[in-house]
Amino acid sequence: MIAIYPGSFDPITFGHLDIIERGTQLFDRVIVAVLSNPNKQPLFSVEERIQQIQNCTQDLSGVEVDHFDGLAVEYAKQRDAKVLLRGLRVLSDFEKELQMAHTNQTLWQNMETVFLATSNEYSFLSSSVVKEIARFGGSVEHLIPKSVALEVYKCYTKTPQVNPNPTHPINNLPPKNSSSKKNFNNWRSSL
Q: Is 86 annotated as belonging to a binding site?
A: yes
Rounded Cα distance between 106 and 48, Å, is: 33
Of 22, 89, 119, 135, which residue is the catalytic one?
89
Asked if 189 is an active-site residue, the reply is: no
Q: Is 40 annotated as belonging to a binding site?
A: yes
DSSP three-state, residue 172: coil
Q: Is 180 annotated as belonging to a binding site?
A: no
Asked if 40 is an active-site residue, the reply is: yes
Q: Is 45 annotated as belonging to a binding site?
A: no
Q: Is 191 annotated as belonging to a binding site?
A: no
Q: Which residues pair with 30 in a beta bridge?
A: 3, 63
Of 40, 96, 102, 154, which residue is the catalytic one?
40
Q: Is 178 annotated as belonging to a binding site?
A: no
8 Å CB contact between 73 and 103: no
Closest of 32, 9, 7, 4 to residue 114, by C-alpha:
4
Of 49, 127, 131, 168, which residue is the catalytic one?
127
Asked if 96 is an active-site residue, the reply is: no
Q: Is 126 annotated as belonging to a binding site?
A: yes
Rounded Cα distance between 84 and 109, Å, is: 13
| Binding site feature residues | 8-9, 16, 40, 72, 86-89, 97, 122-128
Active-site positions?
16, 40, 89, 127
